[in-house]
Structure 1
Amino acid sequence: MSLKTYFLHPDQFDRYYNCTAYDVDSIALDQRRHPFRAIVFCVLGVFYELIYLPCLYAIWKCSKKHAQQASCYRLMFLLGLSDVVGIMLTTFFVGYFTFQGFVFCSRPLLFYICCVAGTYLWVLATTTALILALNRCIVIYNPHTAERLFKGAMRISVWLLIPWTCSSLFCWFVPPVIYSSISSYFYFNPHQHYLPEEGHYSVVHWFYNWFVVVAIFTIYTIFATLFSKKYYAKGSTLRGNRKLLRELSTFLQVLVTCSFVTLAALCYVYQDYLQNFAFPAMIGYICYQGSPAIIYLCMNQSIRNILVNSCNALDIILSKARISNIWTTSNNNHHEGYISSTLN
């Protein structure tokens, strides 16, 4: 049930998520807990957080440094923020549940809060990815239109408000998917493996995931057609056009990122067919969330430069601190030696 049901119709919510119909221990703990899977989730979480957090810092710096691409970098920052928090949920929290062998009725409120948050972040990330794709296509095809739509703090704020609004409305009206440590996957049925599937399905989830797939495919297909007509049909060339090449580089980063979003959405659409491959599917979903960081490090020169410069600045600060410490220690030793010789 959705947050609307939780707050406005608590009786209906309690009937749907009623945990008195069965005993959690009717499925043995050994069948519910999977320490190896939990460790894999947590290791992936640490890895992706360590590479994503510096990228998030660099993206924020880029949004301040490159005024012409501020809207793109602000959207990338929002996407990264949702991914970083999402990685925490799908690795550390899910890893803890998997290690302990928890199912929904083991910790009902905690499970529900985490799963609502996960659904919220999924909608936030996918909606942001759609707007980001639209932004890149318009910027490259018609920069003047892009300025009218995206330039200025007020316009950017309006675009950034759209994903937050969509996510809030989605979680208010639509029930979340619930994690089960037994198979290490998400289901609409909170009592998966205990009670039958009847009535546990969300058409809105299915429709939204298909919408994401179709929308991303449509945006890039239209852009590819228009771009080819504009720059190749009339004999235009990309050689020497450094600004366009830079825009295309950013566009390709967004394209690859959105491709992972599309694959994740398709996995959700066909999740019933992935139940026999639940653990690999979960690994894939975690990798999808961390993939933008790898894409940025491999393809975005501005982000790499900021990170390298930050590391160099940190090395200089640490070197100065070490030199200062050595100098202070040397002076102290000299002073102590002088006092000792004087006393003797």
Structure 2
Amino acid sequence: MNNIFKYGSIAEIPLYNCSAHTPEEWSERDGVRRPLYGLADMTYGLVFNLLYIPILSVLFEKENMRMSCFKIMIFLASVDMLALWVNSIITGFLAYKGAVYCTYPNLIYIAGSAGLSLWCCSCIIAMSLVINRLLELAKPTLAAFLFEGCRTYIFMGFAIGYGCYFAIFTPPIVFSSKYHTWFFDPMIFVNRTDEYANIPHGVNNFLVVGLTCLLYVSFCFVLGRKLKQVSNGGSSKSNKMSTQIFIQSAMICAINQIASIIYVIMNFIDVPFWLIIVGHSFWQFGHGAPAIIYLCLNKTIRNGIMKKIGLKKSNPTTHTTKDSNSAAFTKTN
């Protein structure tokens, strides 16, 4: 993004100069219209954005906003909704039109910068949420020191700054309907792929996402130990619950880790089209999965939504408690 200020406009950036052909000629030369993929992507993005609305309405309730984990979950859900606009709704529109970078250079450059920024930002948010839940179980005093009150917003501010770094100082991802995904190489010039390499993105995918997965594993072990301590003889039930939590968390980690690895690999070597589609789908699902997880596994959110639509009566004597297990079921990116 800093190159826009350096050169005055996107069109004047040397590595992104599309003056060799008209937008229509670029689409005709390199693009492939994919109307079914496009409609499916747009539908997915719109449906999951709508699913997040009732979830956020519950998270924003006053009693929930007192808890640091719910503040982080609100931030994570907001980032996911914005990311779905890039990897699903805008992607669907571009695929439907058979677009390549030079068809809509301004839209794709800005959307690509935003999509990359949101992905990396969500990595830090997810890590913050896992750390929050882990410390609440293992070191509650330290958790209070780090997250109590407005201190949660420090972590959010760091995540925003981290994401902005990728948007401003690193090459954006750009869309190609030929492969139905976003690469760093806009495919304007032949044999210049290495000039578009985004090393910080590769480091983020392998280091940050990998570390978040390790934190999830640590969380599962700590939670299992805590459940055993309070089970009073119900060890089999605790073991079953701990196993379920581990499996669910491991699945979420796997989704994002697979997307991360595929996206790094396909920007450096040729991979089959089906693998590119798998990688893109995992990126989409990584931002949409938390909505399903919140609705299915988080009792606080699920009950709150049911009360809002009249399927469950409110109990004025019931107070919101920390749903540590459910709050942890969020994505890592």
Residue pair 1:274, 1:281 contacting (<8 A) in 2 also: no
Question: 1:179 maps to what in 2?
Answer: 175
Question: 2:108 maps to what in 1?
Answer: 111
Query: Does 1:120 find its partner at 2:120?
Result: no
Inter-partner Cα distance in structure 2 for 1:177 and 1:222: 33
2:185 to 165, 183, 189: 189
Question: 1:156 maps to what in 2?
Answer: 152
Query: Does 1:301 find its partner at 2:303?
Result: no
The Cα shift of 1:227 comes to 5.7
Question: 1:53 maps to what in 2?
Answer: 53
Residue pair 1:126, 1:261 contacting (<8 A) in 2 also: no
Structure 1 residues 310 and 254, CA gap change in structure 2 (3 angstroms): farther
The count of residues paired between Structure 1 and Structure 2 equals 302
2:265 to 252, 270, 285: 270
Query: Does 1:100 find its partner at 2:66?
Result: no
The Cα shift of 1:223 comes to 4.2
Inter-partner Cα distance in structure 2 for 1:304 and 1:11: 47
Q: How does 1:21-60 map to 2 (within 5 A)?
A: 21-22=20-21, 25=25, 28=28, 32-60=32-60
Q: Larger radius of gyration, structure 1 or 2?
A: 1
The Cα shift of 1:88 comes to 1.9
Question: 1:14 maps to what in 2?
Answer: 13
Question: 1:330 maps to what in 2?
Answer: none
TM-score (norm 1): 0.77
The Cα shift of 1:301 comes to 0.7
Inter-partner Cα distance in structure 1 for 2:181 and 2:272: 8
Say which SS state the counterpart of residue 196 (structure 2) adopts.
coil
Question: 2:330 maps to what in 1?
Answer: none
Residue pair 1:133, 1:255 contacting (<8 A) in 2 also: no
Question: 2:310 maps to what in 1?
Answer: 312
Say which SS state the counterpart of residue 199 (structure 1) adopts.
helix
TM-score (norm 2): 0.79
Question: 2:317 maps to what in 1?
Answer: none
State the AA in 1 paired with 2:85.
Answer: M
Inter-partner Cα distance in structure 1 for 2:41 and 2:92: 6
Question: 2:164 maps to what in 1?
Answer: 168
Say which SS state the counterpart of residue 182 (structure 2) adopts.
strand
The Cα shift of 1:260 comes to 3.4
Residue pair 2:58, 2:301 contacting (<8 A) in 1 also: yes
In the TM superposition, what whole-angstrom CA distance separates every residue of 1:66-94 from its partner, at most 9, and x where no partner exists? 466x1101111111001111112222211
Say which SS state the counterpart of residue 49 (structure 2) adopts.
helix
Structure 1 residues 273 and 284, CA gap change in structure 2 (3 angstroms): farther
Q: How does 1:135-146 map to 2 (within 5 A)?
A: 135-146=132-143
Question: 1:334 maps to what in 2?
Answer: none
Structure 1 residues 211 and 36, CA gap change in structure 2 (3 angstroms): same
Inter-partner Cα distance in structure 2 for 1:273 and 1:162: 35
Residue pair 1:52, 1:84 contacting (<8 A) in 2 also: yes
In the TM superposition, what whole-angstrom CA distance separates every residue of 1:301-336 from its partner, at most 9, and x where no partner exists? 110111011101999xxxxxxxxxxxxxxxxxxxxx
State the AA in 2 paired with 1:205.
Answer: H
State the AA in 2 paired with 1:16.
Answer: L
Say which SS state the counterpart of residue 183 (structure 1) adopts.
coil
Inter-partner Cα distance in structure 1 for 2:146 and 2:167: 28
Question: 1:236 maps to what in 2?
Answer: 229
The Cα shift of 1:162 comes to 1.2
Unpaired segments of 5 or more residues in structure 1?
316-344
Structure 1 residues 261 and 132, CA gap change in structure 2 (3 angstroms): farther
State the AA in 2 paired with 1:195.
Answer: V
Inter-partner Cα distance in structure 1 for 2:277 and 2:222: 41
The Cα shift of 1:176 comes to 1.1
Inter-partner Cα distance in structure 2 for 1:106 and 1:276: 22
Inter-partner Cα distance in structure 2 for 1:138 and 1:198: 42
The Cα shift of 1:49 comes to 1.8
Inter-partner Cα distance in structure 2 for 1:11 and 1:307: 46
The Cα shift of 1:98 comes to 1.1
State the AA in 2 paired with 1:32.
Answer: V
**Bigger shift: residues 32-41 or 46-55:** 46-55
Residue pair 1:101, 1:181 contacting (<8 A) in 2 also: yes
Inter-partner Cα distance in structure 1 for 2:81 and 2:170: 23
State the AA in 2 paired with 1:187.
Answer: F
Query: Does 1:201 find its partner at 2:197?
Result: yes
RMSD: 3.3
State the AA in 2 paired with 1:4.
Answer: N
Q: How does 1:59-98 map to 2 (within 5 A)?
A: 59-61=59-61, 64-66=62-64, 70-98=67-95
State the AA in 1 paired with 2:259.
Answer: A
Inter-partner Cα distance in structure 2 for 1:54 and 1:171: 30
Question: 1:290 maps to what in 2?
Answer: 288
Inter-partner Cα distance in structure 1 for 2:203 and 2:278: 24
Percent of aligned positions that are identical: 24
In the TM superposition, what whole-angstrom CA distance separates every residue of 1:204-250 from its partner, at most 9, and x where no partner exists? 1111111123211332344455566x648xx7243599xx99xx89x
